[in-house]
Amino acid sequence: MWIPLLSFTALPHVGGIYGGFITRKEVKTWYASLNKPSWRPPNAAFPVVWTSLYTGMGYGSYLVWKELGGFTEDALVPLGLYGLQLALNWAWTPIFFGAHKIKLALIELVMLTGTVAGTMVSWYPVSRTATLLMAPYLAWLCLATSLNYCIWRDNPETKKD
């Protein structure tokens, strides 16, 4: 059972790696020019935090998959919500850093946070451990939403050429 374990745990990192390519250039240019709140985490914290969060959520999804006997009818909602939140997670970086659409990224982040909460509710009866592995992710998303809001509030959007 090593292949499913490794596959589920690694899957979230795929979008994270892709997002890292988009972010890397923008952090030094566009993002550096934005007004940001003083309480924001340092840039160096983000890759470390996201690596931990992706690993935790990926392992949690494996626990849910295993407990429900694979991709069964019972797994449709818990793993479907997980897949939706993962897609929303992966979409945020191209919206914020790629397209420089701060308000749209904020709306998307609110949707992501709600979907993660829904995922956790659906996971709780299946695996409390998996649910707890998502708790730091939900907390980080609350911080990220606050940060995105402050950046939107403090930086009027301009059209990107």
pLDDT, one tens digit per residue, over 90-129 is: 999 999 999 999 999 999 999 999 999 999 999 999 999 9
Can you tell me whether residue 43 is helix, strand or coil? coil
- Helix boundaries (H) for the chain: 2-28, 45-67, 76-93, 102-123, 128-154
Cα–Cα nearest to 139, from 111, 118, 117, 107: 117
Q: For residue 98, report the phi and psi dihedrals to the nearest 5 degrees.
A: -80, -55
Whether 161 is covered by a domain: the verdict is no
Residue 138, amino acid:
L
Whether 160 is covered by a domain: the verdict is no
Q: How far apart are CA 130 and CA 15, in angstroms?
A: 20
Q: Which residues of 109-136 are buried (b: 16+ CB within 10 A; e: fewer)?
A: beebbebbebbbebbeebbeebbebbee
Whether 159 is covered by a domain: the verdict is no
User: If you search the block for the tokens 């992706």, which residue do you land on?
Assistant: 54
Give the range of the structural domain holding residue 77, as residue numbers without chain letter.
Answer: 2-154
Q: Name the DSSP class of 41.
A: P
Whether 40 is covered by a domain: the verdict is yes
Name residues whose C-beta falls within 8 Å of residue 120's C-beta, 6 or more positions apart in sequence. Answer: 131, 134, 135, 138
Whether 101 is covered by a domain: the verdict is yes
Q: Into how many domains does the chain fold? A: 1
How many other CB atoms are found less than 10 A from the CB of residue 90?
A: 16
The domain that holds 6 is classified in CATH as: 1.20.1260.100
Q: How many residues does the chain have?
A: 161
Each of the 161 residues of the chain gets a pLDDT tens digit; together they read 799 999 999 999 999 999 999 999 999 999 999 999 999 999 999 999 999 999 999 999 999 999 999 999 999 999 999 999 999 999 999 999 999 999 999 999 999 999 999 999 999 999 999 999 999 999 999 999 999 999 999 998 765 54
